[in-house]
Amino acid sequence: MRGIVVLRSLVKAQTRIDPDARRVSGLISRNVRVQGRRTSMRLEGSMWEALKEICQRERVTLAELCTFAAGAKSSSLTLTAALRVLISNYFRNAATEDGHTRAGHGRSALAASVPLAAALHGNRPRTPPA
């Protein structure tokens, strides 16, 4: 029983709470516009942060990105699943061997890899100044 209490407190301590969002079961609910209509989506906090970063890099609004994903997804995918795929593919396509080397990826076994653990928790590796 004590282990569960400790686990819950660790999860709560590691989760940033967005005042504009409603947390349910570790997911954050937000209203977005898709094709001009308001809809509610639930994603993990790191997914919302990734969407925000993609929007900034591509100079589009969240509504434009969600509308694009809704139009491009297959009928078997939900919008949230399509956005997770979009996020994954966006950053995978941007990854290079040089970038992986600078981030310290591939130096050790999966269980002992600090960069993989950091990626799982949303921490970004810092690149050394040039």
Cβ neighbours for 79, distance < 8 A, ≥ 6 positions apart? 34, 39, 41, 66, 69, 70, 73
- The number of beta carbons lying within 10 Å of the beta carbon of residue 21 is 16
- If you ran DSSP here, which 8-state letter would residue 34 be given? E
Q: Are 41 and 32 in contact (CB under 8 A)?
A: yes
Q: Is the pLDDT of residue 22 over 60?
A: no
pTM of the model: 0.62
User: Which tokens hold the place of 57?
Assistant: 């890099």
pLDDT in tens, 29-88: 999 999 999 999 999 999 999 999 999 999 999 999 999 999 999 899 999 999 999 999
pLDDT computed for residue 98 by the predictor: 81
Q: How far is CA 27 from the centre of its chain?
A: 11
Q: Give φ, ψ of 91 to 5 degrees.
A: -75, -30
User: Which tokens hold the place of 86?
Assistant: 């979009």
Closest CA to 78 of 119, 29, 36, 43: 43
Question: Average pLDDT, stretch 106-112?
Answer: 53
More confident residue, 10 or 127: 127
User: Which tokens hold the place of 90?
Assistant: 């966006």
Domain parsing of the chain, residue ranges: 19-94, 97-130
Mean pLDDT of the chain: 75
More confident residue, 107 or 77: 77
Q: Is the pLDDT of residue 116 over 80?
A: no
